[in-house]
Amino acid sequence: MRLDPEVSISIRRIAGSEDIALPEYQSIGAAGMDIRAAVESTIRLGPGKIASVPSGFSIALPVGFEAQIRPRSGLAVNHGITLVNSPGTIDADYRGEVGVAVINLGSEVFEITRGLRIAQMVIARVSRAHWNEVPDLPSTPRDTGGFGHTGA
């Protein structure tokens, strides 16, 4: 079953990435689309190392939307592979290639091969804030409690 998209987004393949699948949902209930690695050659990512992985595409999001780049849970749990800036944000006015900042928190070298599903992308609506500076804020039961104030 295919759902009608809520928003239409223009996407452009980067030259040389024609063999890389565009981001796609893996199930009907998936919130994120898998992004594949458009690496020219295998990246051997050692423990504690970071790599910028190309995606092979760029997008033109409508104003009022962002694309969040998030880790894939299977890579995180099974290999310690996650994203340095999670979630990464692609703004509506960015037109460059989507890159994925990957880090290996595992104990073994991890190989990033061409076409590997390396991250996921969630398209989300955003609001722009307008500040209303006031001398005091209304109090709440929580008030200034933070950083574990409710216990472990």
Q: How far is CA 126 from CA 49, 57, 99, 129, in A?
A: 32, 22, 21, 10
Beta strands in 7-71 (DSSP E): 10-13, 24-25, 33-36, 43-45, 50-54, 57-60, 65-70
Predicted pLDDT at 7: 86
Provide CB contacts within 8 A for 105, sequence distance 6+. Answer: 47, 48, 80, 81, 82
Which top CATH class is 10-125?
mainly beta
> Tell me: the pLDDT tens digits for 71-125?
999 999 999 999 999 999 999 999 999 999 999 999 999 999 999 999 999 999 9
- Domain boundaries of the chain, sorted by first residue: 10-125
Model-wide pTM > 0.85: yes
> Residues, the chain, total?
152
Residue 117: name the closest of 50, 39, 10, 31 by CA. Answer: 39
Determine the Cα–Cα distance for residues 149 and 81; give it in Å rounded to an integer: 31
Band (pLDDT 50/70/90 cuts) for residue 35 is: very high
Residue 48, pLDDT above cutoff 80: yes
Q: What is the mean pLDDT of the chain?
A: 94
Determine the Cα–Cα distance for residues 30 and 69; give it in Å rounded to an integer: 14
Determine the Cα–Cα distance for residues 69 and 33; give it in Å rounded to an integer: 9
Of all residues in the chain, the percent with pLDDT exceeding 70 is 95
Band (pLDDT 50/70/90 cuts) for residue 145 is: confident
